[in-house]
Amino acid sequence: MEDQSEASRLSASGYDVAPIGEAEREDLAGDLTAEERQVILNHGTEAPFCGTLLNNKEGGLYACRLCGLPLFRSGAKFESGTGWPSFTEPFDPDHVREIRDTSHGMVRIEVRCARCDGHLGHVFPDGPPPTGQRYCLNSVSMEFVPEGEQPPRRLDRQEAPRE
């Protein structure tokens, strides 16, 4: 039997960020579009200036399209001019993983959802204050949750989010 401390791991904001299994990930991926699958599961990139969240100015948060984990707050979003939604910092540092990416002849830092391992985009050290970071993300990897609403619960987990 799995130890409870291994079965769930709460982030500072109260979300269970324990990694999901491959079967659960495939189940969640069942309703993804072809483009969402290409970006989220196969580490692709959507075309610049085409994402549905690029020009969103509403208050709220951005959650993982695959598992529903909150990833970024609207207050951390800024206009980078790159063609992809950009943020200065994550909702909770425990909600994202950063992985060295040497694909395409470059060295970059890939950003993934800490819970489902879905590809979100990349982070670069050329963002504005206060962090100097630019999390450059794919719209199809996220969904917007308006202020006052709860992120989607796609997993059967006990969570006590603290805002």
Q: Return the domain boundaries, the chain.
A: 4-146
Q: For residues 14 and 33, give the distance between their C-alpha atoms in angstroms, rounded to a whole number.
A: 30
Token representation of residue 2: 């799995």
- State pLDDT tens for residues 25-45: 999 999 999 999 999 999 999
Total-model pTM: 0.90
Which residues are tagged catalytic? 136
How wide is the angle at C-alpha 146 spanned by C-alphas 120 and 21, nearest 5°?
A: 40
Residue 160 has pLDDT above 90, yes or no: no
Q: For residues 42 and 91, give the distance between their C-alpha atoms in angstroms, rounded to a whole number.
A: 24
Yes or no: domain 4-146 corresponds to CATH 2.102.10.10: no
The single-letter DSSP state of residue 30 is G
- State pLDDT tens for residues 105-153: 888 999 999 999 999 999 999 999 999 999 999 999 999 999 999 998 8
Q: Which residues on neighbouring strands pair with residue 72, listed in sequence order?
A: 62
What pLDDT is stored for residue 5 in this prediction?
45
Q: Which residues on neighbouring strands pair with residue 98, listed in sequence order?
A: 111
